Amino acid sequence: MKTIRTIVIATLLSAVMICGAEKANAGEKTIGLRAGYNTRTEAPIAGLFFQYQLSSYFRLAPNVEYYIRHNNTDGLSINLNTHFPISLGAGSHAAFYPLAGLNFTAWNLHGIEEDSDDVTTRISRVGLNLGGGFEYYATSSLKLSVEAKATLLKNYTSGTFSLSIGYVF
């Protein structure tokens, strides 16, 4: 069974690499939507992203994510990440990318203090993002990706898993 699984995975990876596409060029820009899951709130996220390719191996990737309210907690996260895309083969449509970046998150904790007139307690933190992702150019102007990252914040560390779709121009 393990051998069959290995053969299937190798075949799928080969198929992705054989598809053949152009490598990201300096100056390429992508804008798009993200959706996923945050481990801190145990709830979905929704967001927007922008990517600017500075060279074939380095890009800036700012994004904004809203953690949808669950268990009286929601939040807004602003990220300035850097990606280091590594193509999965000559002419490949696919790439893996490690990421690192800065994060600012404002958490809203609803109904924490019962005797307070304020219905929300806000906690803001600055931290770091570390993670990685996989992207696939479905066409020359459509990019799909999956990403996982840890956001390291004092007392509010979390993990985020997301899927995104972007327009490349």
Task: Show me where the domains of the chain are located.
Answer: 2-168
- What are the tens digits of pLDDT across the range 3-42? 666 665 555 555 444 443 445 788 999 999 999 999 999 9
- Tell me how crowded residue 28 is: count the other CB atoms within 10 A of its CB: 17
Fold of 2-168: Porin (2.40.160)
**Where residue 169 falls among pLDDT bands split at 50, 70, 90?**
very high
Q: Which amino acid is at 1?
A: M
In sequence order, the 6+-apart residues with CB closer than 8 A to the CB of 67 are 38, 40, 41, 43, 45, 73, 74, 75, 76, 77
Quote the CA–CA distance of 93 and 23 in Å, as a whole number.
7
